[in-house]
Amino acid sequence: MRVAIIGGAGRMGRWFARYFKSKDHAVIISDIEEKARNIAEKEGFLFAKSNQDVVKGADLIVISVSIESTPNVIKEIEQNLKEDAIVAEISSIKTHVMKTLTDLVQKNVTALSIHPLFGSGAKTLKGKKIAVIPVKDPEREVNLVQKFFPEATINVIGAEEHDRIMALTLSLPHFLNLIFASTLSNEDINGLRRFAGPSFTLQLILAESVLTENPDIYASIQMMNRHTYPCLEKLMNQAKALKEIIRNNKREELIRFFGKIRSNFLKDIEAIKPYEKLYEIVERLGS
């Protein structure tokens, strides 16, 4: 199988290129020309100067570009695709690209909308999840994704619900970690580490990992998902309510606030187990 990776010089694009090369497929990449050429030579990929060229004759095309660029890239390449090609886009937000994918399948091309729920540091797909957002034929699309990524767990979800969940699982944690890091930015971080317990240590690791990423990606995730702002409004309302409880020294009200959240959040989970897991994670990360 000939696999084309558009955006093959980026972190996730390179991950997909390496993955398919490891499965003995011919891999060809396109991206910013000089960077892509150097990576292709180093990694043993083929190289194409343009997106139109990279897809010619390709059986599978993986589009790993910015969220904003994904629909335009699909339109850019559609005239150069062979009739039975499979086009897979991997953006973190889906509602903005579904119409473009739906239009694409009218041209006897299979469109896949997937979201790899892991980062470019993944060494294996064991234990990793991939979301599949149906475009036309859910059963066939899921079967193709399972064929390409047999070790991964496949979860199927609609575009609108996917984006709502991403507001909670991506936008919200990113926002919290940016605020956390901003609050500490003028502190002596190394000094804080000397007195840090597992909760702070893990939170610091999460914040530092966010700060190593491309800020353009984070801006897109925050601003292009229409579900993000209502999610952040809810967060700020809850934060304001808790802040007022603390400011007014309402101890019993804070205990009730805590108890209500715990009963809703943990449900049947024994309270000790999250703490045990927290210690385990921090110890593993520190080793």
The mean pLDDT value for 139-164 works out to 98
| Model confidence pLDDT, tens digit, residues 185-237 | 999 999 999 999 888 988 999 999 899 888 998 999 999 999 999 999 999 99
Quote the CA–CA distance of 185 and 18 in Å, as a whole number.
Answer: 36
Q: Which pLDDT band, with edges at 50, 70 and 90, does 265 fall under? A: confident
Nearest residue to 109 (alpha-carbon basis) of 130, 139, 78: 78
Nearest residue to 36 (alpha-carbon basis) of 56, 2, 74, 65: 65
- Vertex 45, ends 81 and 65: CA angle to 5°? 55
- Of 22-26, 93-97, 166-170, 201-205, the least confident: 201-205
The mean pLDDT value for 11-31 works out to 97
**Is the model's pLDDT at 262 over the cut of 90?**
no
Quote the CA–CA distance of 9 and 31 in Å, as a whole number.
Answer: 6
**Is the model's pLDDT at 287 over the cut of 50?**
no
Q: Which two tokens stand for residue 257?
A: 């606030």
**Percent of the chain residues topping a pLDDT of 70:** 93
DSSP codes of every residue in 224-272: S-TTHHHHHHHHHHHHHHHHHHHHTT-HHHHHHHHHHHHHHHTTTS-TH
Q: Which domains does the chain have, with CATH numbers?
A: 2-157 (3.40.50.720), 161-286 (1.10.3660)
